[in-house]
Structure 1
Amino acid sequence: MRQLSVALLWLLWRLLPVRALNWIGATLGGLLFVLARHRRHVGATNLRLCFPELDAAERRDLLKRHFRAFGRAALFESVCWWGSREDIARLVRIEGMEHLTPHRGKPLVLFTSHFVGVSAGGIRLTCELAPMVDIYSPIKNPLLNRLAHRARQRFGESELYSRSEGIRPVLKAVKRGLPFYYLPDMDYGRKDALFVPLFGVPAATITGLSRVAKATHAAVIPTVTREDGDGYAIRIYPAWENFPTDDLEADTRRMNAFIEDRIREMPEQYFWVHKRFKTRPIGEASLYG
């Protein structure tokens, strides 16, 4: 079934303009909102925790818009997998490239977050900066796993390491000057994590951004990818000053505060169907029921 879905996606990409793909993706996302009961529950719980100032109808509308944005991003993967360098440059704009210039060839962490356009932003940066280094969680479906690998490597021999391989090979690559596109904003459990606030809710947050920057003496440059017309735009921010510090918790709080600010700018585009608050402090009940 997955193979058939991938074949259909390839056919749609070959035959239709991106605007039509976006319409189909939004429609499928709306259908998923109705059918994906468990993911809808997770998203609704996250929004209730993070936006208590919104009433139930407003949160439901926000979640619907998220599912549509998620659907558009899912079909845009066809551009990431099969589009040419020219296609990607045309459909994914870069803002703030000047912030990268002083750091080329030096240890660099491109800190980003799980907004729906994160794959598009990563592929666009690969076109400009490859080879890069990336760490990933394997996809259960072998075909999708191969496609994701190929997408990351087809514009330069970037180095990819699974989470099971640990952080050491990534640190070595960063020290050699390979930019690291890093997403530290999911709940990976208690290991190497601190409970720091996200929208006022204690969230198990890995401390890797501070630790990687300290171990490699890397500059940390935040990036965020948002929807932009028929495609996406990746915004590159100035390198963080006074980071990392000797206070691991303060560094991790700073990271979450930045993510929260960006979410408030485009709340429908954050990945709400992930159980971001799954890991709880000892003795605290699950928030997801």
Structure 2
Amino acid sequence: MKLALALLWLIHLLPLRLIHALAWLLGQLAYALAKERRRVGLINLRLCFPDMSPAQRRTLIRAHFVEMMKLVLEYGVVWWSSPDRLRNLVEIRGLEHLSRLRDAGEDVILFYPHFVAFEMCAYRLNLEVPLVSVYAHQKNKTLDEQFYKGRNRFNNAYIVSRQESLRSIIKAMRKDHTPFLYLPDQDFGARDSVFVKFFETDAATITGLSRIAGLARAKVVPAIARREGSRFVLDIYPAWENYPSDDVVADTRRMNAFLEERIRETPAQYFWLHKRFKSRPQGEARFY
């Protein structure tokens, strides 16, 4: 692992165009070798886009492997590049939607789905505002230390362990009205989840966005991270009106519906290799 981190450090010295060219080569290799992940991705696309042909799905997943390899190689950039480089690489659009709420003394949850540019854009945003995030420890100690050190590199983050309580998150949010960067769009099991549509198929979707917003009396502001060529854009949207409602299932479906619209805009940049439909309603056959 130390060798891998040393390679990432060397790679971060390259121009981003060269880093992405290397990622293209590695992405082709990963597509060919990672058969199980490729199978998962193709199943996800079949469930979400049933009208897409098998050939179109294979093309999309191949492109997605390249996008994922870009993410891997970009870790060196986010961990060791200067703040000026990050500012030059990432454009933030709509920051005023977040700033106005904080200036008004509102607490904010940033709904921040799993798009492949999420790390780069999160570090860039952290240069502008403090952030609360939940951290899951890595099995490898060296990698765990690097991830944690990276998250703290600007001394502007409040990191809450996944094992800590919801109270810890809300307490951190209320310190200087610090936005909570929340990624609730994966399958975390049936517990604390409801089955609502994600595209064409029911998916176990955690209700945390609605529940935390209600408990913390916080505004929900979507933020979507994308690559545009060799640069990045973080789009921050206006806060959702009438959210949360008194119907947590409707709130959760609203979250998925918004996410679907954003995925259709850049489908290759969403996390397709995760088993999004792993949990099934009782008695229903498994997909994977």
Q: TM-score scaled to structure 2, two decimals?
A: 0.96
Matched residue, 1:84: 82
Decide which moves more: 86-95 or 272-281. Answer: 86-95
- Deviation digits for residues 203-246 of structure 1, max 9, x if unmatched? 00000001111111111100000112213111000111100111
Q: Where does the alignment leave 5 or more consecutive residues of structure 2 unmatched?
A: none
Counterpart Cα distance in 1 of 2:166 and 2:143:
24
Unmatched 5+ residue regions in structure 1? none
Q: Where does residue 53 of structure 1 map in the other structure?
A: 51
Q: Does 2:104 align with 1:128? A: no
Range that drifts further, 134-143 or 192-201: 134-143
For 1:237 and 1:197, how far apart are their aligned partners in 2?
23
Q: Which segments of structure 1 move beyond 4 Å, counting only runs of 4 or more?
A: none
Which one-letter code corresponds to 1:192 in the other structure?
Answer: D
What is the root-mean-square deviation in Å for CA atoms of aligned residues?
1.1
Q: SS of the counterpart of 1:129?
A: coil
Residue identity in the other structure for 1:69: E
- For residues 137 and 286 of structure 2, the distance between their equivalents in structure 1, rounded to whole angstroms, comes to 26
Could you tell me which residue of structure 2 aligns to residue 102 of structure 1? 100
* C-alpha displacement of 1:102: 1.1
Q: Which of 67, 72, 75 is the matching residue for 1:74?
A: 72
TM-score by length of 1: 0.96
What does 1:236-251 correspond to in 2, within 5 Å? 236-251=236-251
CA distance in 2, matches of 1:8, 1:78: 9
Please tell me whether the aligned partners of residues 25 and 75 of structure 1 are also in contact (alpha carbons under 8 angstroms): yes
Counterparts of 2:106 and 2:28, CA distance in 1 = 44
Distance 1:138 1:260 in 2: 29
Measured in 1, the distance between the counterparts of 2:198 and 2:173 equals 28
Within a 5 Å distance, the mapping from 1:156-171 to structure 2 comes to 156-171=155-170
Give the drift of 1:77: 1.3
Post-superposition shift, 1:79? 1.1
Task: Indicate the residue corresponding to 2:16 in structure 1.
Answer: 18
Displacement of 1:156 after TM fit? 2.3
Question: Could you say which residue in structure 2 is the equivalent of 1:39?
Answer: 37
Give SS of 1:165's match. coil
Contact 1:27 1:71 in 2 (8 A): no
- State the SS of the aligned residue for 2:92: strand
Aligned length: 285
Q: Structure 1, residues 174-213: CA drift from partner, whole Å, max 9, x if none?
A: 1331110000001000111000100121100000001111
Q: Match for residue 149 of structure 2?
A: 150
Partner residue of 1:278?
Answer: 278
